[in-house]
Amino acid sequence: MHSLEFHRRRLASKARFSDAPVLHCGSYVSAVAALFFSFAPVYAQQNTAPAPAVSPAPAPVATVPTQSPTVPAPASSQPLSAAATPPGVDPTHYIIGPEDNLQITVWKEPTLSGTVPVRPDGMISMVLLGDLPAAGNTPTQLTSDITGRLKKYIQDPIVSVLVTGVNSRRAYFVGEVNKVGPLNLGSEMTLLQAISAAGGLTTFAHSKRIYILRGAKGHEQKIFFNYKQALKGDSRQDILLQPGDTVVVP
């Protein structure tokens, strides 16, 4: 009885295995291939590194050629520097006088150039030219005179004459002013301006009794001046001083 039951169960088991579908070799390979290709895109996406970003090449910078600084001409090819003319000295009208100082410049001729004093006799001395008159001439007239004289020695000389020191135009102050003595007048100076240049009046000055002593045509002239009226703008007090005037402030 037990043997029959054992054989029956064994046959039933074989029947179940015989009814199951048989997986052929070709179908197995196809299934594995399909599974591989289904995972391939995901694997490729995860393991593919992104291409590095390439920065654009910098644009070329345009270079502008720098301009070389202007180089001044050599000093030898330029006129010699001259001292400045005092303010108020007009080279076409100012009359050179004794004791004035002149700056005479001859272009490219340093040995002929320099500062020249006008002697008390009104003459000056220059190399090649010797003594020549200066007093009584304007700077423009003296320039023409020197240029004409130098043409004997130099071709086309270029000459300039400047007044660097005005010493011939002097007035003299006496009395109650803060600076007694000579005063350089320059080109033109009124008595009011001269008093200011002399330091002004002292506290003891009689401002209404000021006068000028001026020699004219062999006799001495007395010209009265009212300081207070001049301060108020009285045009009658605009008296121009002349070289040699003596201002008396009692």
In degrees and rounded to multiples of 5, residue 130 shows phi and psi of 75, -145
First to last CA, the chain: 179
Q: What whole-number distance in Å separates Cα of residue 6 and Cα of residue 175?
A: 169
Mean of the per-residue pLDDT values of the chain: 78
Q: What whole-number distance in Å separates Cα of residue 222 and Cα of residue 209?
A: 11
pTM: 0.54
Rg of the chain in Å (alpha carbons)? 57
Domains of the chain with CATH codes: 80-165 (3.30.1950.10), 170-249 (3.10.560.10)
* Range 29-34 average pLDDT: 54
pLDDT band at 23 (very low <50, low <70, confident <90, very high): very low
In degrees and rounded to multiples of 5, residue 182 shows phi and psi of -75, 150
Give me the pLDDT at residue 71, please: 45
Integer CA distances (angstroms), 127 to 53, 84, 89, 177, in order = 86, 23, 26, 44
